[in-house]
Amino acid sequence: MPIFPLSIHDLRFAPDGREVLAGVDLELGEEGITLVLGPNGAGKSVLLRTICGLLEPSAGRMAWGGAGGARPQQGVMMVFQRPMMLRMSVLDNVALGLKPLGVAGAERRRRGVEMLERVGLADRAGDSARQLSGGEQQRLALARAWLTKPRLLLLDEPTASLDPSASAAVERIIREIRTDGTRILMVTHNLGQATRLGDDIVFMAGGRVCEHTPVRAFFARPRSEEARLFIQGELPWRMRFQGA
């Protein structure tokens, strides 16, 4: 089932009447890494959860693969800020993603070993996943998602609370996943990371997409006042005062 282009029109999410997404419009083509930036409470993570089907939008529509296509059953994966680490080995945790696809146990393990080699965790295959460091756990989570060969990968702040070297390792894997043909939509608060990884930027504030532009253009000439203030580090403060 085709996934791209993914067209999102007037997407709204308002639990208990409070609008978290207030009419999001977004177009995603089939290649590249799109970074979602914005202040806390802008609706970035909610947008990702809505796209992958964890949240049901209050209104609006998503057209997958062109004219009015429904959400595909496979091909969309998401990696969370604090990924799930089951009480089993690193290898078993990685291979877990293949279980719903009906891949046999031995084949799951074979592919899992290959994937661990790609993310530099082959020597930890037999260790408990919970004994890994934060950066290693995030690499494991990316490997688990990558193993399913998703067409669209949603990443919710995968490097939050990681040190620079662990972040760099995670960024390297994200680039490899992209090179492998996976479209990536990633939330981050790290502007440096946005310039290193992103092809384009989706800037959100107040539950809306304020602008969607190539990375260079975004940082050189932000079109919206909110984006300009955010880059200068003022928007969160200003919004907080306005909210108070």
Partner 1 sequence: MSAFAATFSDALSLLAHFDHTVLEIVALSLQVSGAAVLLGTLIGLPLGACIAVGRFPGKTTLSVLINGMMGLPSVVVGVVVYLILSRSGPFGALGMLYSPAAMVVAQTLLVVPLMAAITRQVVEDVWARYAEELQVMRFSWWDSVTTLLHDCRHSLVVAVLAGLGRAMSEVGAVMIVGGNIDGATRVMTTAIALETSKGDLALAIALGVVLIVIILALNALAYVLRQWAMRRFG
> DSSP of 56-75, one letter per residue?
--SEEEEEETSTTPPPPSSS
Q: Is 77 in the site for partner 1 (CB under 8 A)?
A: yes
Of the pair 23, 134, the CB lying nearest partner 1 is at 134
Output the smallest distance, CB 58 to partner 1, in A. Answer: 19
Q: Is 40 in the site for partner 1 (CB under 8 A)?
A: no
Q: Is 86 in the site for partner 1 (CB under 8 A)?
A: yes
Among candidate residues 54, 52, 22, the one with its CA nearest the CA of residue 38: 22
Among candidate residues 59, 46, 23, 43, the one with its CA nearest the CA of residue 205: 43
Member of 10, 29, 66, 99 binding partner 1 (CB under 8 A)? 99
Give the count of beta carbons closer than 10 Å to the beta carbon of residue 189.
15
Among candidate residues 110, 102, 115, 189, the one with its CA nearest the CA of residue 147: 115
Q: Is 20 in the site for partner 1 (CB under 8 A)?
A: no
Return phi, psi of residue 124, to 5°.
Answer: -105, 10
Of the pair 49, 189, the CB lying nearest partner 1 is at 49
Alpha carbons 164 and 142: distance in angstroms, whole number:
17
Member of 2, 68, 100, 214 binding partner 1 (CB under 8 A)? 100
Alpha carbons 177 and 158: distance in angstroms, whole number:
14
Member of 30, 60, 80, 149 binding partner 1 (CB under 8 A)? 80
Among candidate residues 10, 19, 59, 60, the one with its CA nearest the CA of residue 42: 19
Of the pair 14, 96, the CB lying nearest partner 1 is at 96
Q: For the sheet containing 33-37, what is the strand order? A: 76-79, 152-156, 183-187, 33-37, 200-205, 208-214
Output the smallest distance, CB 81 to partner 1, in A. Answer: 11
Q: Is 165 in the site for partner 1 (CB under 8 A)?
A: no
Member of 14, 22, 63, 85 binding partner 1 (CB under 8 A)? 85
Q: Is 126 in the site for partner 1 (CB under 8 A)?
A: no
Return phi, psi of residue 187, to 5°.
Answer: -90, 135
Provide the mask over 178-217, with x wherever binding to partner 1 is found by CB under 8 A and - wherever it is not. Answer: ----------------------------------------
Query: Which 139-158 residues touch partner 1, going by CB under 8 A?
Result: 148
Q: Is 78 in the site for partner 1 (CB under 8 A)?
A: yes
Member of 87, 104, 165, 179 binding partner 1 (CB under 8 A)? 87
Number of separate helices (H) and strands (E) present in the chain: 9, 9
Applying CB under 8 A, the residues found at the interface with partner 1 are 49, 52-54, 73-74, 76-78, 80, 83-88, 96-97, 99-100, 128-131, 148
